[in-house]
Chains A and B, each alone.
Chain A
């Protein structure tokens, strides 16, 4: 009899512990995502200003500027999870890169104080997105592992904790992770 009570008590404690850790992980993933979101919005806000500044100097690059504006609109409109969003953001990043490559051909524009400030803000935002993404992906990996390993996968299955998508980046300049051993 006592043995049954003890087994039941252990099971209840195990259940509560695992369930709570799953909830906590899901919350962390949400938090990490909102950190990325803040930085993505910051980038959306900077782009119209950038396009406006470039317009004055770039008479023959109408198409390029339009593609930046379009990529921004598509990124804002992107719905349906991290993977979809990441794809739209990557497209936006790559049009921005080609814009800055073309800026190199316009010495007057390159020296424009307004553009320099915008370039610094965009570089910083890109870095923030990259660092926030690392954090987000770490949290997603923890949650995904937890939903798959035994025994937490049972509780995850019953209470509908699903895998989350990674925020992937496919840019060639993406820095490789550094292995550090202490």
Chain B
């Protein structure tokens, strides 16, 4: 458990350093291409530092806003508050802030934040409607395990930093491919030295984007999810609750509308539900639900 916390903190520092270095290098390349000199370098460094700080302090709010989560009220969601308070007694963690995602078709949940004192747990309305008390308890316990393990810190930083780079890379590559033709026709002189370096940046981004996608995948490595499932079982002393919750969530075919590639790795079960079995197994951000359920049931029978 402590090992897991230390590893998550280490990975987070590594991610910030790597991200800053990448942005600075890109800034240098763009500066050289445009002839701005060191100005672009300094600008890039400030930008990277600002992004990292923003990711650390405001990343959870960003992720919640993107997911269209609204604060849960104690009056209307009394059971959700009760269940979470029970589990804070069981785990010794502070009470997280609770959010509701208004989506009546896709049951799902996630946790975000930088540490247990600044953590948020969000659930969809479909989850509250379809799960019984013990299943909901299992899901919240799973999310609280992520909070206690500092999985939320790494996942939030990945969501903000990596998500931004992936989106920028997509945008940049697309504008180069689609906009390149027009520009070439207009003036051949502009695609001199600057054009060549822009092309180089495009190639670098094209190589890096899949690596970042891989990083997102690592943020929800199978091990992490299995560990959170096991911790949840230990916390509630009732593995069957989470097992049957996972089954109910997995059975629902609906895609969660407010989730995207940058936030999918937060959720307890992949909210995007892409088809194609072999491919999804290889590229999926989440371990197989059937395998998770099997392991939980094995815990229940060994006790």
Give CA–CA (A175, B241) in the complex, Å: 12
B111 interface residue per 8 A CB criterion:
no
- Measured CB to CB, the closest approach of chain A to B237, in angstroms, equals 5
Smallest CB gap from B299: residue in A: A178
Is the beta-carbon distance between B82 and A180 smaller than 8 angstroms?
no
Provide a sorted-by-A list of 14 A–B residue pairs whose CB atoms are within 8 angstroms: A120-B79, A120-B82, A124-B86, A127-B86, A128-B85, A128-B86, A132-B89, A135-B90, A135-B92, A175-B237, A177-B237, A178-B238, A180-B233, A180-B299
Find chain B residues with CB under 8 A from A132 CB: 89
B205 within 8 A of A: no
**Whole-angstrom CA separation of A134 from B83 in the bound complex:** 17
Say yes or no: is A179 at the interface (Cβ < 8 Å to chain B). Answer: yes
Bound-state Cα–Cα, A135 to B83, Å: 17
User: What is the size, in residues, of chain A's interface with B at 8 Å between Cβ atoms?
Assistant: 19
| Bound: A124/B134 CA distance, A | 11
The answer to the question of A94 belonging to the interface, with a C-beta cut-off of 8 Å to chain B, is no
Q: A117-B78, A124-B83 are in contact. Are A178 and B300 (CB under 8 A)?
A: yes
- Whether A53 is near chain B, meaning CB under 8 Å from some CB there, is no
Q: Is the CB of A35 within 8 A of B237?
A: no
| Minimum distance in angstroms from B104 CB to a CB of chain A | 21
Which residues of chain B come closer than 8 Å to A134, judged between CB atoms? 90
Please state if B302 and A179 are interface contacts (CB–CB under 8 Å).
Answer: yes
Q: Nearest Cβ in chain B — how far from A88, in angstroms?
A: 21
- What CA separation (Å) do A118 and B227 show in the bound complex? 35
In the complex, the chain B residue whose C-beta lies closest to that of A38 is: B89
- Flag if A182 contacts B303 (CB, 8 Å): no
Contacts of A175 in B (CB 8 A): 237-238
Contact A178 B233 (CB under 8 A): yes
- Is there contact, CB below 8 Å, between B78 and A120? yes
The reply on A123 being an interface residue by CB < 8 A is: yes
Task: Say whether chain A's binding surface is mostly helix, strand, loop, or mixed.
Answer: helix
B234 touches A180 (CB 8 A): yes
Within 8 A of B (CB), among A130-178: 131-132, 134-135, 175-178
- The answer to whether B78 touches A182 (Cβ under 8 A) is no
Closest to A124 in B: B82
Select from chain A the residue with minimum beta-carbon distance to B296: A178
Cβ of B63 within 8 Å of any chain A Cβ, yes or no, is no
Please tell me which one of the listed residues B1, B82, B87, B299 contacts residue A179 in the complex, with CB atoms under 8 A apart: B299
What is the distance, in angstroms, from B243's C-beta to the closest C-beta of chain A?
Answer: 12
Closest residue of B by beta carbon distance from A176: B303
Q: Is the CB of B133 within 8 A of A123?
A: yes
Distance (Å) between the CB of B97 and the closest chain A CB? 19
B239 at the interface (CB under 8 A from A): yes
A45, CB-defined interface residue at 8 Å: no
* A124 contacts B303, C-beta separation under 8 Å: no
Question: With a CB–CB cut-off of 8 A, which chain A residues contact B1?
Answer: 182
- Asked whether B16 is an interface residue with its Cβ less than 8 Å from the other chain, the reply is no
9 interchain residue pairs of minimum CB distance: A124-B82, A131-B90, A131-B89, A127-B86, A180-B234, A175-B237, A178-B303, A180-B230, A176-B303
Between B1, B89, B302, the greatest number of chain A beta carbons within 10 A of the residue's beta carbon is seen for: B89
Closest to A174 in B: B237
Closest CB-CB distance, B32 to chain A, in whole Å?
50
Known: A182-B1, A182-B227. Contact between A131 and B303, CB under 8 A? no
**Measured between C-beta atoms, what is the minimum distance from B298 to chain A in Å?**
11
Chain A residues with CB under 8 A of B89? 35, 128, 131-132, 135
Closest beta carbon of chain A to B294's beta carbon, Å: 15
Asked if A66 is an interface residue, CB under 8 A from chain B, the answer is: no
Would you list which residues of chain B between 226 and 252 have a CB under 8 Å from chain A?
227, 230-231, 233-234, 237-239
Pairwise interchain contact B133-A176, C-beta atoms closer than 8 A: no
A64 to B151 CA separation, bound complex (whole angstroms): 49
Distance of A113 from chain B, by nearest CB (Å): 12
Additional A-B contacts beyond A127-B137, A134-B90, A178-B299 (11; CB < 8 A): A120-B78, A123-B82, A124-B79, A128-B85, A128-B86, A131-B86, A135-B92, A175-B237, A178-B238, A180-B234, A182-B230
Is A37 on the interface with B (CB-CB < 8 A)?
A: no
Cα–Cα, bound, A117→B230 (Å): 31
Closest residue of B by beta carbon distance from A35: B89
**A84 interface contact, C-beta 8 A:** no
Residues of B near A61 (CB, < 8 A) are: none
